[in-house]
Amino acid sequence: MRKNIYSNENSQYKIIAVDDESGILDSLKVFLNKAGYNFVGITDPMEAIERVKQEHFDLMLLDFIMTPIHGDQVVEEIRKFNKDLYILLLTGHKDLAPPLETIRRLDIQGYCEKSDKFDQLLLLVESGIKAISQMNLIRKINNELKDTYEKLEKAYLESIETLRFTVEAKDTYTRGHSDRVSEYSVLIGQKLNLPSEDINTLKIGGLFHDIGKIGVPDSILLKNAKLTDDEYSEIKNHPTIGAHILSNATIFQNVLPVVKHHHERFDGNGYPGKLKGLEIPFLARIAAVADAFDAMTSRRTYRDSLSLDIVKAEIEKCKGSQFDPNCADAFLDILNNDYEKIEEIRKKYNPES
């Protein structure tokens, strides 16, 4: 009856049995094939390890006492490259089973005494297959959820990119500015030997650091004359606006400090938080140097771009007041010794300088 009910369903599962007694493997083959499972029997435990490396199996029936290595050693090797294989240990006698601590450590799902009757073993196999089926279903659901989440994140990212391009379309100065700040920030991060996670945060943070300018009126953003105090106050809102725009997506959580605090000053006279020194998020301190450099080396409606010597002198002068000294020194090192990297970035984004 069990065969008729389950054989079609069971045929999708592959079972490998490892026992140095070929007679036991022959019996298992007959019994498990009758139950509808795909079965492979191997007498050499070393060969079995290689087979599991090369081929997918759902469940392993493993003899404990074998030569040249015992079953627990087989599991030890398999767990180095396969954490998912469901393993049932077979013992000639329960007193010969490995300690419970070993079974737990190696994540052996169960063990069974050998017997001429396979009913108990079949129940354990069926229980294992049900567990495997549930885990496969959970993995499938998680993958589908991950795929859906990634699509939502991608759609949100594309929406924010559209906002960024809208900002850049308003203002000739802004065009290419965010890309350059992103790449300059990455150069500084690499110079400081930051981990890849921080480098990626600098890259994304630089790209979107000025996204909040979407909330600044065009009459202020595009004004050629000197801004009034009230107008400058409006401009100073853009970091907070940008952080608010990005705050609803998990993908941007790490970059929020860069977006919100890239206009803070090391002496505490920046905005929006008037943070001082080490209170300012470290990556925001890096972006602040990159942002200021690009502002000074870009042509504006009211002035030409500044020469490299003047810019370097300004960065040097503002160490400890506007800029974190370590971040400023790292960028000055790049300007003095690797300036070709800066030129490549400027050429890539074709700034009007």
Give me the active site residues, please: 213
Does 99 sit behind a cis peptide bond, omega within 30 degrees of 0 on the bond before it? no
The H or E element containing residue 102 is: helix 100-105
Residues 6+ apart with CB under 8 A from 106: 72, 75, 76, 79, 87
In angstroms, rounded to a whole number, what is the distance separating the alpha carbons of residues 328 and 315? 7
Distance of alpha carbon 73 from alpha carbon 143, whole angstroms: 33
Question: Minimal CA–CA distance to 288: which of 267, 313, 310, 258?
Answer: 258
What distance, in Å, lies between the first and last C-alpha atoms of the chain? 83
- Phi/psi at 203 (nearest 5 deg)? -60, -50
Contacts 24+ apart (CB under 8 A), 37-43: 37/10, 37/11, 37/13, 37/125, 38/11, 38/13, 38/14, 39/14, 39/15, 40/14, 40/15, 40/16, 41/16, 41/17, 42/16, 42/17, 42/18, 43/18, 43/19
* SS3 of the chain: helix, strand, coil, percent, to 5: 60, 10, 30
